[in-house]
Every structure is written in C-alpha cells, then in structure tokens.
Structure 1
Amino acid sequence: MAVTMAFFRVCLVVVTAIINHPLLLPRENTTVPEDEEEIIRQMQAHEEKLQLERLRLEEEVARLAAQEALESVADEGQQQQEAHAAWDLWSTLCMILFLIIEVWRQDHQDTPLPACPGGDEDELPGLGTAPLQGLTLPSKATLGHFYDRCIRASTADAARTREFVEGFVDDLLEALRSLCDRDADMELEDFVGVDSMYENWQAERPLRCRLLVPFVPPEPYCFHPELWCCGHPVPLDHQGYGRIKVGQAGGDALGCVCGKTKLGEDMLCLLHSQSAGAQPSRGVEDLLCARESPYLDAMRVMKWFQMALTRAWHRIAHKYDFDLAFGELHSPGSLKIKFRSGKCMPFDLMPAIQCGDSDLYFVSRLSREPSGGGPASSTDWLLSFAVYERHFLRMTSKALPEGACHLSCLQIASFLLSKQCRLTGPSGLGRYHLKTALLHLLLLRRAADWKAEQLDARLHELLHFLEKSLLEKKLHHFFVGNRKVAEAMGLPEAVREAEPLNLFRPFVLQRGLYRKTMDSFYEMLKNAPTLIREYSVHVPSDHASLPPKAVGS
C-alpha cells in the first residue's frame, strides 16, 4: 500500500511538471523573453529541480518498500513461530493421550473372550487360525508315543505316592496335636490335597504332593479374614492378597489365654512366640501378629509351624526307617523324606486359614513359581483358589469324552516348561499360568473338541493362547471377576463381582522380566519338536520310576 501511494505521488509530480512546462503548454498571455540564454538557464534550473524531486521521491519509495518488506518478514516469522508452538502443544497432548490409553488398556481394559459353548475353531477369534511362531509339532503318532512313554509311564505310581505321603502326614499331625493343649493352643484340622498331584496332571520328577493344613485359634479367639476386594480400594500390587485379623469372639480386645492354663514344660503357645514358662505379656507384639498390629504375620506363623513340625517329628521318628528334613530355606513348609538308599520324596505342608465357609484359603506361600513380585508386607496372605480349581477340573471332566486330552495338554506343556527352566533358568512364566490358560480354554471350548485324537490341535491351541496372552501382557485370573463361572461352584459373591485380576501385570512394570520370559518361551517352542522326538525314543534314567515304597516300622 505504501509503495502504491509513493508511485502515485511520482506520477502526480511528473504530470504537474508537464502541465506547467512553458514550452509544451505556453500560456496565452505569456511574454517570451528577449534574451534566449536567460530562458535556457531557467529551463535548466527547473529541470534540475525536478530531477532532485524525482530522486527524493525514489529514495522515499525505496525506504517505504524496505520497511514494508521487513514488517512482512517479521509478521511471517511470528506466524511461523506461533504455528510451531501450536504444533508442539498438539504433539505433546497427543503423546500424553496415547500413553494414557496404553496404560488403561494394559491394566484396566476388560475384554474377555466370548464364550463358545457349541462353537468350532472359526468361532474362537485369534485361536486355531494364525500360525504359532517357531512351533511345528511332531505327528500325532509321535506325540502320542511321547506321552505314553515319557509322561504316563513316569507318573504311573502317583496314587501310591499320594497314599504314602498322606499316611505319614496324618501320623505327623496327630503327634503335633498331642503336644498341644486344646484350651490354649490352635487347633489343626485335617489336611487338604491340592495342585497337580490331586488334579492328575503331574509331569515333573520327582512327584510332589502339596497339602494345606487349616488351623483355627482357641476359644475365645477367632480369625477375621479381609479380602482385597472388600472395603476400600487397594493398590494393584495388593490384589489377590488379604489379611487376617485376630480378635475375640465377643469383642475386639486382643490377648492370650495361655496364662489361664498350665502348659507342659517347653511347650509353645501357638499365639505366643515365647515359651509358656516365661511370664506372658499381653502386648500385641507378643502374638504371631506383626508388631503393633492386630494382623497375623505370615513369616512368624511359618516359623512357629516349622518349630511345631520339628517337635512332632522327634516324637515319632523312631517308628520310621527314613529321615525328615526341610527342603528349601525360603519355603519352611517344604519338606522331604530321605530314604537310606539316597532317594528323596519331597512334599509341601503349608499352614492355611479358611476364608469363612468357602473353599478359599489364605496361605503364606503356596506356589514356588517365579512371579516377578510378591506380597507387599508380611501381613499380606496369598489367597489360594486351589480347591476351587480342583473342583472345576473334576466337574468339567465328567462332561468331557472318555479319555479327554485336556490334562494331557497341560502335562506336555508343563513338561516342556520344566525342561526349558533347567536350560535357561526360571522366568516369569510358571505352571500356574499354564493351568489358568487351560481353564479358560475349557470354558470356551465345547466338550466334543477335547477328544483324545485332538491332542495335537488342543496343545497347539494352548500354546497359542499363551503366546497371545504374553504379547498382550494380559492373562486374567480364572475365578476373580469371571462371571462365566457357574454359580454352582460356590464362589463368594465379592470374588465374582471383583475386577478381573491380571496375572501378567508384572510384565507391564518389569521390562527385563518380560524380555527374559518371551525369549525363554520362544526358545521352548523352538526346542519342543526335538525334545519330544528324543524322549519318544529314549527316556533318560532320571525320568524313570520312583524308588520302591518305603514302609514305616
């Protein structure tokens, strides 16, 4: 705009000069000077004046043009800067939004697989259609020969092993009860068999029984279990755990009745950590609770249980021709029978607390599988669904065809996992994850899909389900928040209505554990065909049958 006005001014001056020039448009009353030189001099002076005016106007035009150009550049730079700032802001907001969506998807999104009570492979999305990375299973004949020769033959004496261990544990617990005062000590109930040995899918050697020993406090005391899904919200790392509050049946006061009863010499009260001969203290810190807390301390309970078992064994050791020892320091309930031949028979004996009238049990440590995490404190007790899992498998087996392959799939997968753990060490994938995956598939598949001749297809599907769950870092607990489980199972309503519990949540938080687990899993798939073929031809001596049955004298 400024350049246009300057150009208009120049044109106006030129037109004015032309109009006023005396030679071009002479006025009628103008008198021509007599002196020609004077006229020429005036014309030259006027011309110089016009040239000076033209130069001044050109300089002004150039100055205005330069000023307008600078202003235009400045405006353009400011607009670009504002555009860049706006773009950076939107980029940051989009990144934050994507992160929020990803975290929500990993931890809170609940997209259960649809139930397919009468469907086929096409009705199971993502299963049975896509190839499993790195896995080519041997033929049906080779797979069946491997199972019969390696797994079925090596676990043929499982029933005899259970019978022997149960008889010995009955004798051990009876000796322990005889050392207790019914009016002052906790009462030990009958043991409950759980896990693979009682679900008929044990594949590891040596065979290992796992037994829960429920106990209750003496009158007037009682336990008040508190589930994580009842009451106030709890952090994610507390999900699946609970606490047990100790109180009196008629009130909240804590105390001990060992001072009201005379105990035997060197006998321990099951509520106190000190001997009965010492002066009893009424403080909470003297109970098997955490210090200054009314909640049971799992570690202190395990130490008490270990000491009690030691005294009970010393009482009956003369009856047997073998020794009893603790198997693992980090798991006081792990025991092993040591025969004179050098063979061992391990078993787990875990103190447990029943949750009300249900089949839920609180245990200090049941599974020996690496999970990438643990309880947040010693007052957190793991909630075990082992009894419900045994009932579900037993109830489902009745509806499946004779000789169904569901437990065979689980045994083969467990066998492959145990061999891989021996090669590369434990990872974040454990036997409990394998069983959870199978339980989900049993609920999704129709009964006719589990015939014996479909072993290879179902094994491939089980491993594919695991791969999909690992890639998504999401494997929901089978019972917690699963409304597809029949109400006839008798699960507490609080557990059925709870939010689904992701067993693979440690993989979201621990990248190193996740990377190691994925590497180990895919290496297991890669080694599986070769391992199955080799064991089909030759079973190593360490996988042979157990030593002859030991008999108590």
Structure 2
Amino acid sequence: MALGLFRVCLVVVTAIINHPLLFPRENATVPENEEEIIRKMQAHQEKLQLEQLRLEEEVAQLAAEKEALEQAVTEGQQQNETRTAWDLWSTLCMVLFLMIEVWRQDHQDGPSPECPGGDEDELSGLGGTPLRDLTLPDKATLDHFYERCIRGATADAARTREFVEGFVDDLLEALRSLCNRDTDMEVEDFIGVDSMYENWQVGRPLVCHLFVPFTPPEPYRFHPELWCSGRSVPLGCQGYGQIKVVLGDDDRPGCICGKTTLPEDMLCLLHGKSGKAPPGGRMKDLLCAAESPYLDTMQVMKWFQKALTRAWHRIARKYEFDLAFGQLDTPGSLKIKFRSGKFMPFNLIPVIQCEDSDLYFVSHLPRGSSQWTPVSSTDWVLSFAIYERHFLRVTSKALPEGACHLSCLQIASFLLAKQSRLTGPSGLSSYHLKTILMHLLLVRKPTDWKAEQLDSRLQELLRFLEKSLLEKKLCHFFIGNRKVPEAMGLPEAIRRAEPLNLFRPFVLQRSLYRKTVDSFYEMLKNVPALISEYSLHIPSDHASLPPKALVL
C-alpha cells in the first residue's frame, strides 16, 4: 500500500512539473510524442486503480477472518460453559442417587420388595413360576405338620448331645495323653456349634458339630492373616485367611528354659533338655506347606485323623461299639457303629482361634454347609458359628414366647433336604436359609414373630430367597454388615470389610444357577405333597439314639 501511494504521488508531481500552464517554456510546442505520453499515463493510472482494488480486497479479507476468529472463540466459550454445567449436573445426580441408595440400605426397616416383572420373566425362562402364583399350606396345616414330623423327630436331641459330648471328652483326653508336649499340637476343649446347639436341627440322623481348637507347641504360635487385613486378594478369596506359624515373642510368658541357654548338666523339669526351637524351624513338623511358613489344611487333616485313630485305639476296649470315619475328605467326620446296626454320626472340626475373638479358622467344612471352595491348601475358611449361635440366643430372648422364627427355619430346611433327595443337591444349603432368617430377624420387629404368624414368616423367608436367587446376591450376615449390634463384639475389621456375596458361585457357574432355580421352584410345587405325606407318618429309615451306651 505504501509503495502504491508513493507511485501516485510521483505521478502527480511529475504531471505538475510538466504542465505547460504552470511552467511555460520558451519554445512551447507540443512534442511529437505527446500521444504516447498520454497513453502511458492512462495505463499507469489503470494499474494504480487495480492495485488499489487488490489492497481493498486484502483488507476486507483480513477483516472477515478476524470476525470469524472472534465468532469461533465466542462459540467455544459457550460450549465449554454448557459442558461444565452438564458435568456439574451429572455429578449432582450421581451423588443424589448414591445418597438415596445409602439411605435405603441403612433405614429400610421392612423386608426386601418383591421381584419386578421383568426379572420374573427371566426366572420363568429358567422353568420357574413366581412365588406369589403358588399356594403354600395355611397355618393350621403347617402347625400339624410341625408337631407330627419335626418336633417329634428332634425330641431326643438333648440326649444325643449328652452322649456325644461324653464320648468326645474321653476321646480328646486320650488324644492329649498321647501327644508330646514339646513337639505335638495341643488340643483344647471342644465347642458345640451349628443347628444342634441352636435348637433347629431337623431330619435324621441327628448330627453334632464340634469345634476342636488346637495350638502349636512352645515357643511357636499362630499368627492369623485375614483377607481384609490390608493385603490385596482376589475376589474369590474373600472370607478366607491364612495361618502363619511364627516364633513366640520373647516377652511372652512361658518357661524360662526357652529364653536362656542351659548348661549341659542342667535339665528343665518341664521340657527336658531345652525348650528352644530346633535350628531351622522345621516347618514341616508344624503342619506347614512345603517351603512355606503357612499352615496347610491337608497336613492338618492327616495329623488330626492319625491322632484320633491313636486315641480311639487307646480307649476302644471301654466301649461296646466301633468308631469309623464317615468321610475321608473331612478331618473329623466320625461315625459310631452299634452292634444293632444303627449308627450315630458326628463331626470333630479342628479349628484355630482368630486372636482373642470368637472367630475361628476352619480347615474343612462339612458337606453342604457352604459354597465356599478354597483356592489353595493354605486357605482357611473363617467361621462365624459362635457369633451366629450367640445372635440367635440373644434375639430369642427379645421375641414373644413361642416365637416362630426357629420353626420357620426348621420347616424350610426340612423341605430343602427332602427336595435334595428327590432331584439331587443344588447350590442351596441350610446355611443360606439361616442367613436369610438372621437378616429378617434384624429388620423385623419382635412382635412380627408370634406363633400365629408362622405361615406369613415362612412365605416371607421364601420370597427373600427367591429375590436373592434372582439377583444372584445374598450378603453374608456378619461380613460388612454395620447393622449388626456392636454388643455382639464383632471385630471392627470384619464390620468394615466389603460385603461378601454367598451367591457368587451362581454368577460364575451358569449351569449350577439354572439347576438351583429349577430345584427351588420344584420344591415350592412339591410343598403341599411333601407336607401331606410326612404329616401322616414319620419316616424311620435312619438310625436313632440307642437307649443306653454300654461302658465297660
């Protein structure tokens, strides 16, 4: 642009200087090439006009680009503001939904709502019919069935417990007398658990489940490690723990021979030459896995079975019956065989106490008690049997006289057991039914468990089970359940742990889930027939307690 203006000024100055009227010459004559000069001036003027047009177009283009850039920046700011507002709204909605869900879980006092229609369609595709479309027997029929079948079959439960406990006391005393105090595990007194000690055992034969705690020889001790103690574990290992065998602390009370060096000519009156651990620790002798300080369940099973066999051989001459193992893959599954051909099974379960709580690590659970399957031989199942017994006992004291909660559990367990004999075992067990009952006891008022409400509570338990099967989710009653009263004394780490889904196997095993659902609805259809059949007579196809055990 500057060059163009300079050219225009130059042309104007040249024209003024050469104008004949302003600067006349002496011999003023029109040059011969005047026409040529005029033609050149016109051409130069046209060139300047074209240059001016080009410059105006460039200026207009620059202005347009500037305006477009400003408009784009304005639109981008508007979009950012809109996106920020949308993100803020989405966050607020998510927080609101989470607050509603937390409030629903923490303040819902009634049982879970019924299944929605779409989920019922999914179950019907598996061959089932929703529970509300089935008819269960009324209260009078249930009462008659309970009196004739269940109450009569469990009348001698107290005598069975007394007989088994007396025999187990003698057996464990013989086991202790055979153990070497310096090298063998020390066995403590048994603890009764499960249905026989919670007063809801059904069916025959009556089976006592007894925990037998054991501890290592000095100076060793067990150090339990829970899955929720800070270490990262797979989802399938929830509810398990490991038992590490470590040397006891020096400040721990014990014999002084284990903390000092005795001269060669001195002996400890309790432990012989020395109470110290052998060099190297010899973890294999302490029932640990190979090249590992962790207790091995298979090693414990072999040790316990050998110890029980030796103890029985020592006292066998005192009794007029035989003792045999019932299940070889369970450590203390025993069976008393009488000369009459009858038998009495019971389970001695070796366990390890978890610190100072009522939690116990179990090497093997009885068949059908849970769906948990250990991944490794060093995984121990965490049992809440003592807490469950305590919860049912404390809750029963607050319920009306003759409450129907245990009767409800007994009827449901009886029906499940009979259905399992008809169609084979499924993914359901009596432990799942007991878990549902404890959930209902926690949310229901005590007045809802009166004796006349047996039919209503039984239907509610089955509805809870149906909904849990549909959702493939049944939360463990103690793990991660902060509604459990603090008076129960549950460790805080267990209360704050992630909830454990007892129905997680149904998520991983589709065939097991389908079979379980089919068996559940088949059981519901068979309820009237089963109750009618077993109300007329009590089957006598199992052994019963003998009148009296003979002791020499």
* In 2, Cα distance between equivalents of 1:143 and 1:129: 29
- Alignment-derived partner of residue 455 in structure 1: 454
Contact 1:370 1:429 in 2 (8 A): no
Contact 1:225 1:242 in 2 (8 A): yes
Query: Aligned ranges for residues 35-54 of structure 1 at < 5 Å?
Result: none
Contact 1:190 1:214 in 2 (8 A): yes
Q: CA deviation at 1:541?
A: 2.4
- Alignment-derived partner of residue 283 in structure 2: 284
- Alignment-derived partner of residue 199 in structure 1: 198
Is 1:353 the equivalent of 2:340?
no
Q: CA deviation at 1:116?
A: 5.6
Q: CA deviation at 1:304?
A: 0.1
Opposite residue 224 of structure 2, the aligned amino acid is P
* In 2, Cα distance between equivalents of 1:165 and 1:112: 46
- Alignment-derived partner of residue 145 in structure 1: 144
* In 2, Cα distance between equivalents of 1:112 and 1:492: 25
Opposite residue 293 of structure 2, the aligned amino acid is P
Opposite residue 328 of structure 1, the aligned amino acid is Q
Opposite residue 126 of structure 1, the aligned amino acid is P
Q: CA deviation at 1:369?
A: 1.1
SS in 1 for 2:158: helix
Contact 1:370 1:428 in 2 (8 A): no
* In 1, Cα distance between equivalents of 2:310 and 2:202: 33
Q: CA 1:371/1:216 → structure 2, altered by over 3 Å: closer, same or farther?
A: closer
* In 2, Cα distance between equivalents of 1:112 and 1:333: 44
Q: CA 1:171/1:404 → structure 2, altered by over 3 Å: closer, same or farther?
A: same
- Alignment-derived partner of residue 209 in structure 2: 210
Contact 1:135 1:529 in 2 (8 A): no
Contact 2:330 2:366 in 1 (8 A): no
Q: CA deviation at 1:460?
A: 0.6
- Alignment-derived partner of residue 390 in structure 2: 391
Q: What per-residue deviation string (whole Å, max 9, x for no partner) do you get for residues 19-65 of structure 1?
A: xxxxxxxxxxxxxxxxxxxxxxxxxxxxxxxxxxxxxxxxxxxxxxx
- Alignment-derived partner of residue 67 in structure 1: none
Query: Aligned ranges for residues 21-60 of structure 1 at < 5 Å?
Result: none
Contact 1:334 1:349 in 2 (8 A): yes
Query: Aligned ranges for residues 503-514 of structure 1 at < 5 Å?
Result: 503-514=502-513
Opposite residue 489 of structure 1, the aligned amino acid is M
Query: Aligned ranges for residues 362-511 of structure 1 at < 5 Å?
Result: 362-369=361-368, 374-511=373-510
- Alignment-derived partner of residue 72 in structure 1: none
Q: CA deviation at 1:111?
A: 9.2
Opposite residue 463 of structure 2, the aligned amino acid is H
* In 1, Cα distance between equivalents of 2:365 and 2:514: 26
- Alignment-derived partner of residue 157 in structure 2: 158
Contact 2:320 2:551 in 1 (8 A): yes
Q: CA 1:218/1:361 → structure 2, altered by over 3 Å: closer, same or farther?
A: same
Q: CA 1:151/1:398 → structure 2, altered by over 3 Å: closer, same or farther?
A: same
* TM-score normalized by the length of structure 2: 0.72
Query: Aligned ranges for residues 178-189 of structure 1 at < 5 Å?
Result: 178-189=177-188
* In 1, Cα distance between equivalents of 2:249 and 2:540: 60
Unaligned runs of 5+ in 1: 1-104, 118-122, 252-256, 263-271, 273-278
- Alignment-derived partner of residue 244 in structure 1: 243
Q: CA deviation at 1:281?
A: 7.8
Is 1:126 the equivalent of 2:120?
no
Opposite residue 390 of structure 1, the aligned amino acid is R
Contact 1:437 1:465 in 2 (8 A): yes
State how many pairs are aligned: 420
Segment drifting more, 487-496 vs 360-369: 360-369
RMSD: 2.6
Q: CA 1:167/1:230 → structure 2, altered by over 3 Å: closer, same or farther?
A: same
* In 1, Cα distance between equivalents of 2:355 and 2:332: 23
Q: CA deviation at 1:333?
A: 1.4
* In 1, Cα distance between equivalents of 2:388 and 2:542: 27
Opposite residue 524 of structure 1, the aligned amino acid is M
Q: CA deviation at 1:367?
A: 3.5
Q: CA 1:187/1:370 → structure 2, altered by over 3 Å: closer, same or farther?
A: closer
Contact 1:115 1:443 in 2 (8 A): no
Opposite residue 416 of structure 1, the aligned amino acid is L
Q: CA 1:542/1:125 → structure 2, altered by over 3 Å: closer, same or farther?
A: same
* In 1, Cα distance between equivalents of 2:112 and 2:193: 33
* In 2, Cα distance between equivalents of 1:170 and 1:124: 43
SS in 1 for 2:473: coil
* In 2, Cα distance between equivalents of 1:545 and 1:184: 40
* TM-score normalized by the length of structure 1: 0.72
- Alignment-derived partner of residue 89 in structure 2: none
Q: CA 1:547/1:137 → structure 2, altered by over 3 Å: closer, same or farther?
A: farther
Q: CA deviation at 1:138?
A: 1.4
SS in 1 for 2:131: coil
- Alignment-derived partner of residue 135 in structure 2: 136
